[in-house]
Amino acid sequence: MGMSSKSVVLEYLASRGAEWTSLFDVPCGSGDFLEEVGRRHPGRKLLGADIAAPERRGFDFIRFDASKDFPIPPAARFDVITSISGVMEFDNTSGFIRNCLERLNEGGALVVTNDNCFTVRDRLSYLLIGRLRRFPLLLEAGTPTYRHVPLQELCKIFYEQGLRLEKVRYVGFFPEDFLFLPLALLLYPLQLVHLLTRRSNVPRPERIRLFPFRSLLARHYVLFLSRVLDRGLKK
């Protein structure tokens, strides 16, 4: 199965050591990620936010709707801001990223994880029955409605807001996903030709980094971003 998104983020925090002392996780969900961070890094300033109170509370918490302006004092800034599989849970993705950037210390990092909807399995599902795995064709009253925020849209927002994409990691491999390996081997050369020949101001190395071969099989991706200081904040 490989590493999960949370494991990759925890590994990243450990690799930065004493470079960070504060972390803001939004939305924090049940709080299990922040609780694990607290166990591994005692004494750090940890804050979680969500529309509902988490089950675990080994950290500070503030309740608010992440699609709206953050009700946190402008002076409250963090070395690391994380969003674990959260950007598909509300509208106004651009405003959310801007709010995160405004709360990020100089030299700080924004880490965003999300579902990968470009796998071979997702493509076949959409071709045959018209749906991606994360987005059912039928929704019952009261069930969550997830927004499809594809990777290229997220990156466009990051560039516009003055963030630099430092690294991309694709994670979440399950045994059944490797049944699609032969088809992935056939499809990737076509995708690669498209990436390299498409007219775009996105540099070719960046295109390959965003959509490597692993993107055809992995269920999730993790984006590591830093603030581009000379561009300021985009309103």
Tens-place pLDDT, residues 14-56: 999 999 999 999 999 889 999 999 999 999 999 999 998 887 6
Q: CA-based Rg of the chain, rounded to a whole angstrom? A: 18
Query: Mean pLDDT, the chain, as a whole number?
Result: 91
Q: What is the reported pLDDT for 176? A: 92
Q: Is the dihedral of CA 103, 107, 108, 112 positive or negative?
A: positive
Residues pairing with 223 in the sheet: 112, 168
pLDDT band at 145 (very low <50, low <70, confident <90, very high): confident
Confidence of residue 231 (pLDDT cuts 50, 70, 90): very low
Q: What is the pTM of this model?
A: 0.91
The answer, yes or no, to whether residue 192 has pLDDT greater than 80, is: yes
Mean pLDDT of 1-21: 91
- The answer on pLDDT for 175 being more than 50 is yes
The two three-digit tokens of residue 37, written as one number:
């961070």
Residue 190 has pLDDT above 50, yes or no: yes
User: pLDDT by residue (tens digit) across 77-100?
Assistant: 999 999 999 998 888 899 999 999
Domains of the chain: 5-178+218-227 (3.40.50.150)
pLDDT at 137: 85
B/e letters for 12-24, b = 16+ CB within 10 Å, e = fewer, are bbeeeeeebebbb
CA neighbor of 114 nearest in space, from 90, 67, 149: 149
- Helix or strand (DSSP H, E) at 171: strand 163-171
Q: Going by DSSP bridges, is the β-strand pair 163-171/220-227 parallel, antiparallel, or unpaired?
A: antiparallel
| Short-list 121, 77, 108, 112, CA closest to 93 | 112
Residue 1 pLDDT level (bands cut at 50, 70, 90): low
Beta bridge mates, 222: 113, 169
Spatial separation of the C-alpha atoms in residues 83 and 88, rounded to whole Å: 10
Q: What is the pLDDT of residue 233?
A: 44
